[in-house]
A and B are shown apart, each in its own frame.
Chain A
Amino acid sequence: MEPAAVVTLIAVVLVILALVVYLVAVILELRKITAGLDAVIESVGGIVSKSRPVNGVVESINKDLSAGTDLLEGLLDKKAGQDDAAGLVESVFPGAGASVLERQGRTGEVKNIDEVYTRGAVQLARLGRESPLGAGAMSGVALRDATYSSAAARSLYQNPSGPVADEPGGPRHRPRSPTIGTEAPAGGDSASDESSASNRYG
C-alpha cells in the first residue's frame, strides 16, 4: 500500500473517531436533558393544574366585591348625594373619587370633603343620642337625657359610682368588667322596656 493511501486512511479514521466520540457524548447529554425536562414538566404540570381554577375564583371574588362596592356606593349616593359620595370616597381613598364619578356617568372635579364630613358627624352624633334617625329633624332637643344616659350601662358594674381605692389615699382602680350571668345586679331594661322604648321612638 502506498504511504499516501495510509495517511488518507488514518485521516478518515480520525474524522470518524472524532464523530463517534463527540456524538456519543452529545447523545448522553441529551439523555440527561430529557430526564431533567421530565422532572421539570412534572412540576410545571402541577403549576398548571393548581392555577387552573384561579381565573374563575378570582373573577367570582371580583364579582362579589364589585357587587359590594356598587351596594355601598349606591347607599352612599342615596344618603350623601352624588357630589358628597364621590368626595367622601376621595377623602378616604385619594384618587378613587374620580372613579366614582365615572361610575355615576359624570365628569368634573371631585368635591373636597376635607377631614370632617359635617353632615355625617351630625348623623353619628344623633345616633349616639339614640335619636330615631330618619324619623325626625336634626334640630330640636335630645330625646335622651345626656347627663344620666349612661346610668343603665353603669349599673352593670360592681361599683357604679366609679373607680375605688383598696386603701385610703391609694391608687384608684379602673372599673371592673360588667358582671353578667347569675350574679348580675338586678335591674336594667327588659325586653318589655325595649319594646316600650321602641314604641316611644317609633
Chain B
Amino acid sequence: MTLWWIGNAVLLLVIVPVVAILLRGVLNAAKATGQAVDALRPVAEAASKDLDAVELLNTTQEQVSQTVAVVADYGGSLDTILEDA
C-alpha cells in the first residue's frame, strides 16, 4: 500500500508535469511553424510576381539577336572602309 502511494505521488508530481511540459513544447513548435509559413506566403507571392518580367527575356533575346545582326552589318562596313593593321 505504501508503494502504491509512492507510485501515485510520482505519477502526479513527476509524470503528469513532464507530459504536460513535453506536449506544450510540441504545441509551441507547431505554432511557431505556422507563423513561419504565414510569413513565407507573402514572400513567395512577391517573388512570383517579381518573375513576371521574365517573359520579357524573350523580347530581350530577339533584340539582342537583331542588334548583333546589325553590329555584324556595321562590322562588314567598317571592314570595308577602315584599313587593316
Q: How far is the CB of B12 from chain A (nearest CB, A)?
A: 5
Instruction: Tell me if B12 and A68 are in contact (CB < 8 A).
Output: no
Q: Which stretch in A43-51, A105-113, A148-156, A190-198 binds the other chain?
A: A43-51
Please, which residue of chain A has its CB at the minimum distance from the CB of B37? A36
Instruction: Tell me if B51 and A46 are in contact (CB < 8 A).
Output: yes
Instruction: Tell me if B48 and A47 are in contact (CB < 8 A).
Output: yes
Specify which chain B residues have a CB less than 8 angstroms from the CB of A65 in the assembled complex: 64, 68
Instruction: Tell me if A15 and B64 are in contact (CB < 8 A).
Output: no
> At the interface, yes or no: A143 with Cβ under 8 Å from chain B?
no
> At the interface, yes or no: A81 with Cβ under 8 Å from chain B?
yes
Q: How far is the CB of A133 from chain B (nearest CB, A)?
A: 5
> At the interface, yes or no: A142 with Cβ under 8 Å from chain B?
no
Give Cα A26–Cα B25 distance, bound, in whole angstroms. 10
Within 8 A of A (CB), among B57-84: 57-58, 60-61, 64-65, 67-68, 71-72, 75, 78-84
**How many residues on chain B are close to A (CB under 8 Å)?**
50
Specify which chain A residues have a CB less than 8 angstroms from the CB of B75 in the assembled complex: 71-72, 75
Residue from A7, A19, A84, A134 within 8 A of B23 (CB atoms) = A19
Interface of B is mostly: helix
Please, which residue of chain A has its CB at the minimum distance from the CB of B32? A29
Give Cα A60–Cα B64 distance, bound, in whole angstroms. 9
CB within 8 Å for A15 and B19 given contacts A36-B41, A133-B83, A134-B83: yes
Interface of A is mostly: helix
Give Cα A30–Cα B27 distance, bound, in whole angstroms. 9
Within 8 A of B (CB), among A139-194: none
Instruction: Tell me if A4 and B8 are in contact (CB < 8 A).
Output: yes
Specify which chain A residues have a CB less than 8 angstroms from the CB of B12 in the assembled complex: 7, 10-11, 14
Give Cα A7–Cα B13 distance, bound, in whole angstroms. 12
| 0 or 1 for each of B23-62: is its CB under 8 Å from A? (1 = yes) | 1101100110110011011001101100110110110110
| 0 or 1 for each of A30-62: is its CB under 8 Å from B? (1 = yes) | 101100110110011011001101100110110
Residues of B within 8 A of A (CB): 1, 4-5, 7-8, 11-12, 15-16, 19-20, 23-24, 26-27, 30-31, 33-34, 37-38, 40-41, 44-45, 47-48, 51-52, 54-55, 57-58, 60-61, 64-65, 67-68, 71-72, 75, 78-85
